Amino acid sequence: MKFQVYKNDGYARYGILSFYNQNIETPLFMSVGTYGAIRSLSIDDLLLTKTQMILSNALHLFLRPGIDIIKLHGDLHNFMNWHGPILTDSGGFQIFSLSKFCSIIEKGVYFKNPINGKVLFFTPELSIDTQCYLNSDIVMVFDECINSFSSFREVKKSTEMSLRWALRSKYRFEFKKNKNALFGIIQGGIYKSLRTFSINELLQLNFDGYAIGGLSVGEPKEIMYNLLKYICCNLPLDKPRYLMGVGKPEDIIEAVRCGVDMFDCVIPTRHARNGSLFTTFGVINIRNKKYKTDISVLDKTCKCYTCMNYTRSYLHHLFRCRETLSYKLNSIHNLYYYQSLMCDIRNSIQNNTFDDFCYDFYKNIKINKHFK
């Protein structure tokens, strides 16, 4: 993987991630396919959304179907028939999301398998081995994601252990002689001193890129944005910056303003399955009764397959009937909206009009707060 920044507008950056013969423009949004699939969508459907890159989860794929099954196909790309780049989450976030079912020690984490209830011991080395077998284009170090309301002492202890795990992850990655990219993950909660400590230690290991973890887990927006600006100002200019798990459109815009290059989140597809659809003028809850007789298109500015072929009335009908087609059409639209948003962001950075783009975005969705 190679990365180059070609244009700046303030702290916002337009760049190119190069994987072999594929060039991916940044800032980018990765569609989330935890189990090697974007729920309800085929790869052909996904291509309609103009998705450049996807994210899958190493721990979940390790549990099901298992690495042996995926190796029968060669790698994860062949298994799911996706030939674009893939980033795999290491499984560290599951320490946070499955905290009631795991126990952490220095060597690794004991998980209660959510599928069969058996105990699984997952380590940084096993996480790296799994991601190497998957042939992930970007491999993530194994870390601990901690609650943002944890005490300084708790976050310090967690951050120090995550750094030791990062070193073990890098050693294992180099031992495997993997030619793909390895990203470190910056932790430290809401404490700037711990974020600085994490950054300085990770920079000494010279990762291919740097992810920002442990944000958007309950802290106020102002704190998140201030931390993002502080973190990005202390990262190398020539390495990609990835904000993990943050995905509301306004959060993406403010993170780009701080200098972030990469994003992922389940919001567009999860919201789609719940009937919440993103448009140029705000979120539409298609389940609402008022759309039953609304024969207009979902978003007149959108060129996605859904908006080009179906009315709000039809989408309301599908959702009310719980037709699986509802999940598909809604997901196509939301992912297309996100990819169009990223494309507009990239174009505005290249044209030095990013601030104007932000102003128009907030004006259209009628949000008055504009964090800077």
Catalytic residue, from 9, 143, 264, 299: name it: 264
Q: For residue 115, what are its two tokens?
A: 């599928």
CB atoms within 10 A of CB 264: 22
Q: For residue 306, what are its two tokens?
A: 């859904």
User: What is the edge-to-edge ordering of all strands in the sheet holding 109-112?
Assistant: 102-104, 109-112, 119-122
Q: For residue 222, what are its two tokens?
A: 């102002």
Say whether 362 sits in a helix, a strand or coil. helix
Q: Going along the chain, which residue ranges are E strands?
A: 2-9, 12-19, 22-26, 28-32, 54-57, 86-89, 102-104, 109-112, 119-122, 138-140, 181-186, 209-212, 241-243, 262-264, 276-279, 282-285
Run of H or E including 114: none
Say whether 24 sits in a helix, a strand or coil. strand
DSSP 31-55: EE-TTSS-TT--HHHHHHTT---EE
44 in active site: no
Separation between Cα atoms, residue 115 and residue 118, nearest integer Å = 8
299 in active site: no
**Cβ atoms of 364 and 280 closer than 8 Å:** yes
Q: Which residue carries 């396919």 as its tokens? A: 33
Kindly calculate the radius of gyration of the chain based on its CA atoms and give it in whole angstroms. Answer: 20
DSSP 237-306: TTS-EEETT---HHHHHHHHHHT--EEE-SHHHHHHHTTEEEETTEEEETTSGGGTT--SBS-TT--SHH
Catalytic residue, from 9, 89, 137, 261: name it: 89
Length of the chain: 372
For Cα atoms 247, 249, 254, give the angle at the middle one, nearest 5 degrees: 95
Active site residues: 89, 264
